[in-house]
């Protein structure tokens, strides 16, 4: 049985539609450590027969997934929860590309990796869909009409938009959550007290 494990989009610097074949260019210690993990996984596979499958995660959004760091721009995914609680928050410029995946879609990707037999590749990008910050903002406004969300004039370091082609072709992954659905469900959970941002 394969052993799926979590790598990160931070294995690469920012650029649109990153593929798995691009040379690793991390610009954070976390990203550099994950690149090392990717190399280690390949060593375990080739030298010791451990059937590893790495999945590079973007920002994972959803119930019980986020850990808010108030005052930091990186955790733009926390903005829906902050808006629901009436707290001010900030998003990147509306035309900036962002990458994310819903926690249930991420779980589905790992489940698919557990079932695959002799895949052609051992490393996969995972994305719920590269979208503009404007779509995230519109979904927040629909769920929380009085949200206090400022829009930054300067780009944020919000992750690296990745290509989903390989994981869709090899594992059959299809994201089910749109930004509107994900944020709508999350806001309802926060309001009901079943989720804490």
- Give the whole-angstrom CA distance, residue 186 versus residue 147: 14
- Decide: pTM greater than 0.85: yes
Tokens encoding 195:
């989720």
Residues 1-47: tens digit of each pLDDT: 899 999 988 887 766 667 888 888 888 898 899 999 999 999 999 99
CA distances from 99 to 1, 55, 68 (A): 30, 15, 18
Residue 26 CA to residue 2 CA, distance in Å, equals 26
Which DSSP helix (H) or strand (E) runs through 138?
helix 133-143
Is residue 108 pLDDT above 80, yes or no?
yes
Domains, the chain, ordered by start: 3-192 (3.40.50.720)
> pLDDT tens digit string along 119-149?
999 999 999 988 999 999 999 999 999 999 9
Residues 146 and 84: their CA atoms lie apart, in Å, by 9
The one-character DSSP state at 24 is P
Instruction: Tell me the DSSP string of 151-195.
Output: E-SS-------B--HHHHHHH-------HHHHHHHHHHHHHHTS-
């Amino acid at each position: 049985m394969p052993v799926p494990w979590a790598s990160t989009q931070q294995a690469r610097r920012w650029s649109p539609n990153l593929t798995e074949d691009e040379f690793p260019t991390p610009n954070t210690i976390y990203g550099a450590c994950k690149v090392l993990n990717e190399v280690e996984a390949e060593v375990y596979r080739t030298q010791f027969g451990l059937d590893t499958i790495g999945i590079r995660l973007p920002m994972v959004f959803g119930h019980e997934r986020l850990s808010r760091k108030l005052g930091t721009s990186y955790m733009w995914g926390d903005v829906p929860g902050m808006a629901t609680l009436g707290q001010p928050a900030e998003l990147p410029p509306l035309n900036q590309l962002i990458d994310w995946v819903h926690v249930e879609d991420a779980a589905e990707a790992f489940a698919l990796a557990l079932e695959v037999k002799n895949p052609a590749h051992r490393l996969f990008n995972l994305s719920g869909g590269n979208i503009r910050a404007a779509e995230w903002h519109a979904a927040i406004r629909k769920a929380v009409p009085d949200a206090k969300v400022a829009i930054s004039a300067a780009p944020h370091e919000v992750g690296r938009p990745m290509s989903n082609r390989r994981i869709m072709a090899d594992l059959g992954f299809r994201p089910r959550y749109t930004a509107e659905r994900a944020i709508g469900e999350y806001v309802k959970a926060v309001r009901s007290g079943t989720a804490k941002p």
